[in-house]
Structure 1
Amino acid sequence: MKKGYLGIVAMLVLFVGIMLPIATTLAQESAGAPVAEAQLEVADSVTFGALIKQGGWAMYPLGLFSLAMFYFIIRNVMLLKEKNMLREDLKPQFDALMAKRDVAGIRQLCAENDSLLTAVLDAGMERISEEHEYDSVHVMEAIEEAGNEQMVTFMKPINFLSIIGGTAPMLGLLGTVSGMIKAFALIAQGGMGDPSKLAGAIGEALITTATGLVIAIPAMIAYFIFKNNFIKSMSTMGRLVGHYLNIYRYGKTNG
């Protein structure tokens, strides 16, 4: 699982590293198409910082979006490791405690090992402790409530990637509209006869659109990968909780 998440990060970094130079190059070529050959040679030597400046105001929030995207990808990789969420390494200890019906021991083990599974399991044990008996309906209600709370907690950083993926293209489009407004304003002022005056405005329009898409595509890919893996972990958690409760109910392990 760890190798899989590291592969996702590597793939997304590679994607951004490949697409960003391509996008900016295409923007340069489109912006400079009407310009003379000498001006194209100058455009080829434009630095990355100059491209950001040419993209206008929209490049700054898009830059923040790109940083946020990498932050949430790395955070989710660290947070959503299945071995940390499900703590299957504690299974022998839980099996033994469940067979003894040692509620206090189970709750102590859960408190010492914070994870998705232990938080949900502790909620069920808390209900047993409060009622001093095993009522399967009440226990499952407590587990379901805790599971919903944990789902909200874990899905929040995943959903931020969806927000970035949906908003970045819109922000890039807004930068495009801003650049086209400037281009038409220059035409209205008589800039049609001098294409070089339009290059900056057209470049702003194209660069911001390309940048927004370069940010959005890996963000959405990461969102669906993390979401699907988390849903899989939730299903596994349900199976493990059922396993532990059966041991508690019947006072013995399957072995």
Structure 2
Amino acid sequence: MDFSIASIWAHTGLFARCIIFTLGIMSIASLVVMAERMLVFRKTRADSRNFAAKMGAILAKGDLNTAANTNLGKDVGHLGRVINAGLTAYRISPNNKDVAVESVARALERQAQREVQSMKRGLGLLATVGSTAPFVGLLGTTMGIVTAFQLMATSGSGGLGTISAGIAEALITTAFGLLVAIPAVMAYNFLQGWVDARAVDISESSNEFLDVVARHLGGGAHSSHAA
């Protein structure tokens, strides 16, 4: 038997081909998630940086009233959506410092959780592919070995030559399973690390914004914020 990919595929049984097709679908799905998440992350980081540059100049002056009434558009990234939630809560909060600060803090936390959850979308699929693809390939390997020994029993002769085709068919599914799983695991770890880093950025920015709100209210400037 010629042990080329084409020859092995020609001798592959129906069950092994189903396993390979399943792994192929898993691979395509993981690649789509990788590409989509990379594009989304790249855009939201760029939008967040632009928002931080523009809004940071306003907040650096402590002018929350101007910041609350400034519209920087919809493309503000994850950071912009969190800070805008805080500004909205500030704008509608009562003229009580403790209540206002608590209201802003809750708004920031709620939006931060939404943003982190949104960024994690699709990562569960990568984790599933990375953890299950080797076992799917192993299932094909197990059935291939069973088939190989059945052929040996049917032929009534032993030796490696009798079962070599079945073993080759079996091992190709394991190899394919690993080829699908390894990129998925690497992509999951990279993207999860990126999400964790952005979660830290959001937390730091939220705390800095909350400090600005507390100082602003402490100075008695909140009484005119709804004007």
Band the TM-score falls in, shorter-chain normalisation? 0.7 to 0.9
Asked if the contact 2:51–2:80 (Cα under 8 Å) also holds between the matched residues in 1, the reply is: no
SS of the aligned residue for 1:57 comes to helix
Q: What is the distance in 2 between the residues matched to 1:48 and 1:152?
A: 46
TM-score by length of 1: 0.70
Task: Name 1:56's counterpart in structure 2.
Answer: 17
Equivalent residues in 2 for 1:31-110, closer than 5 Å: 39=1, 42-44=2-4, 46-47=5-6, 50=9, 53=12, 55-81=16-42, 84=45, 87-98=48-59, 99-102=62-65, 104-106=68-70, 108-109=71-72
- Quick check: 1:186 aligned with 2:112? no
Residue identity opposite 1:179 in structure 2: G
Task: Kindly provide the CA deviation profile for residues 230-250 of structure 1, in whole angstroms up to 9, marking residues without a partner as x.
Answer: 211211122222233333443
Query: Cα 1:247–1:169, aligned 2, differ >3 Å: closer, same or farther?
Result: same
In structure 1, stretches of 5+ residues that fail to align are 1-38
Q: What is the distance in 2 between the residues matched to 1:119 and 1:192?
A: 71
Asked if the contact 1:127–1:139 (Cα under 8 Å) also holds between the matched residues in 2, the reply is: yes
Task: Name 1:169's counterpart in structure 2.
Answer: 134
Deviation at 1:104, TM superposition (A): 4.2
Q: What is the distance in 1 between the residues matched to 2:69 and 2:7?
A: 59
Residue identity opposite 1:43 in structure 2: F
Asked if the contact 1:165–1:216 (Cα under 8 Å) also holds between the matched residues in 2, the reply is: yes
Task: Name 2:83's counterpart in structure 1.
Answer: 121
Asked if the contact 1:94–1:244 (Cα under 8 Å) also holds between the matched residues in 2, the reply is: no
SS of the aligned residue for 2:121 comes to helix
TM-score by length of 2: 0.77
Query: Cα 1:85–1:92, aligned 2, differ >3 Å: closer, same or farther?
Result: closer
- Quick check: 1:221 aligned with 2:181? no
Asked if the contact 1:120–1:146 (Cα under 8 Å) also holds between the matched residues in 2, the reply is: yes
Residue identity opposite 1:117 in structure 2: L
Q: What is the distance in 2 between the residues matched to 1:59 and 1:194?
A: 27
SS of the aligned residue for 2:18 comes to coil
Of 115, 121, 135, 1:156 maps to 121
- Quick check: 1:112 aligned with 2:71? no
Query: Cα 1:49–1:190, aligned 2, differ >3 Å: closer, same or farther?
Result: closer
Q: What is the distance in 2 between the residues matched to 1:221 and 1:52?
A: 32
SS of the aligned residue for 1:112 comes to coil
Percent identity over the alignment? 23
Task: Name 2:92's counterpart in structure 1.
Answer: 130
- Quick check: 1:202 aligned with 2:161? no
Task: Kindly provide the CA deviation profile for residues 59-102 of structure 1, in whole angstroms up to 9, marking residues without a partner as x.
Answer: 00111112122222222221223862661222343135443223
Deviation at 1:57, TM superposition (A): 1.8
Asked if the contact 2:85–2:108 (Cα under 8 Å) also holds between the matched residues in 1, the reply is: yes
Q: What is the distance in 2 between the residues matched to 1:91 and 1:153?
A: 20
